[in-house]
Amino acid sequence: MAVRPGWQGRFYEDFEIGDVYRHPLGRTITEADNTWFTLLTMNTNQAHFNAQVGASSEFGRMLVASPLTIAIAMGQSVTDTTQNAFANLGVDELRLTAPVFAGDTIWSESIVLDKRESGSRPHAGLVTIRTRTLNQDAVEVLTFKRTFYVHKQGSEAGRSLFPEAAEPLTLDNSR
């Protein structure tokens, strides 16, 4: 019986300039998400948690806190881009291009803009991507560039830490 590893993420060598990754998981943002996020981050702008203030705004309803949208968009990209990264080096050219509201579903995709080997860390390289986030109506709501350090294939720090069981999983013990 063969052990088939799950998705391990991309390493430096896997990135090619111009490749586009459509991140597989969309995320519907709820009013609870937005309220909890504003509480956790101490964001006191009432446009995010006071329905009366939201209703009187130019949008006619509460806005999702922008840092929540950014956090979800960045999180959506991890599976395809930074599963094997060990440091974000910068987020640049961040643009919030349309409002996001509770009930919106956002999706993100990234394009590889640049890559180079690290001069100080032979086990790693630097990759720069641009990520954009679309809502359910295909309206762009966010875009940013991000540069990160990512392990090279075979690097000790990038190896899987999945524990080896004393007894392998077999059909006999998988009741």
Residue 35 maps to a domain: no
Q: Work out the average pLDDT over 148-175.
A: 84
Amino acid at 121: R
Q: Which of 36 and 157 is assigned the larger pLDDT? A: 36
Residue 124 maps to a domain: yes
Residue 44 maps to a domain: no
Residue 39 maps to a domain: no
Residue 165 maps to a domain: no
Exposed / middle / buried, residue 127 (Cβ in 10 Å: 0-12, 13-18, 19+): buried
Residue 125 pairs with which residues in a beta bridge?
117, 150
Q: At what angle do helices 66-81 and 31-41 cross, to 10 degrees?
A: 100
Exposed / middle / buried, residue 76 (Cβ in 10 Å: 0-12, 13-18, 19+): buried
Residue 159 maps to a domain: no
How far is 3 from 167, CA to CA, in rounded Å?
13
Which pLDDT band holds residue 7 (cuts at 50, 70, 90)?
Answer: confident
| Residue 73 belongs to domain spanning | 12-29+64-153
Residue 131 pairs with which residues in a beta bridge?
110, 144
Residue 115 pairs with which residues in a beta bridge?
127
The encoded tokens of residue 112 equal 């590889």
pTM of full prediction above 0.85: yes
DSSP states of 14-46 as a string? G--TT-EEE-S--EEPPHHHHHHHHHHHT---G
Q: Work out how many domains the chain is built from and give that number.
A: 1
Residue 52 maps to a domain: no
Residue 138 maps to a domain: yes
Span 70-116, pLDDT tens digits: 999 999 999 999 999 999 999 999 999 999 999 999 999 999 999 99
CATH number, residue 72 = 3.10.129.10
